[in-house]
């Protein structure tokens, strides 16, 4: 991940609804959720939710899968790990291996 991708991801998460969406999708794990159910659970209008999901997807934080007429969304944990790795790559006075336990702790098999 580079600086511009990191800025896009941070900007995407810097909005309340998008942060709520990302956290909801993280909780749902591999099952993900259809766009309509995300909007319903968060009390949002569907077309507004579509815009939020598009921003999160372009930032590399969510991915989608079409299932007939439904689009199911999932947290993109690879994108999230890439963001965390970018933020921490120069940590610990140039000894990033010291931060490895933090990165390992946020890794999951999602």
Domain 3-106 of CATH type 1.10.10.10: yes
pLDDT tens digits, one per residue of 40-79: 999 999 899 999 999 999 999 999 999 999 999 999 999 9
pLDDT score for 15: 97
| Residue 37 or 94, more confident | 37
**Which segments within the chain are labelled E, that is strand?**
33-34, 62-67, 70-75
Q: What is the largest CA-CA distance in the chain?
A: 50
Inter-residue contact 56 to 20 (CB < 8 Å): no
Rounded Cα gap, residues 110 and 105, in angstroms: 13
Least confident span in 7-11, 49-53, 63-67, 91-95: 91-95
């Amino acid at each position: 991940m580079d600086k511009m991708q990191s800025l896009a991801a941070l900007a995407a998460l810097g909005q309340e609804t998008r942060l709520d969406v990302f956290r909801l999708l993280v909780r749902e794990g591999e099952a993900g959720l259809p766009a309509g159910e995300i909007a319903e659970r968060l009390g949002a209008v569907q077309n507004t939710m579509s815009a939020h999901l598009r921003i999160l997807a372009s930032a590399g934080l969510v991915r989608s899968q079409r299932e007939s007429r439904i689009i199911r969304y999932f947290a993109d944990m690879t994108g999230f790990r890439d963001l965390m790795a970018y933020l921490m790559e120069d940590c610990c006075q140039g000894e990033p291996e010291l931060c490895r336990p933090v990165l390992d702790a946020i890794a999951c098999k999602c």
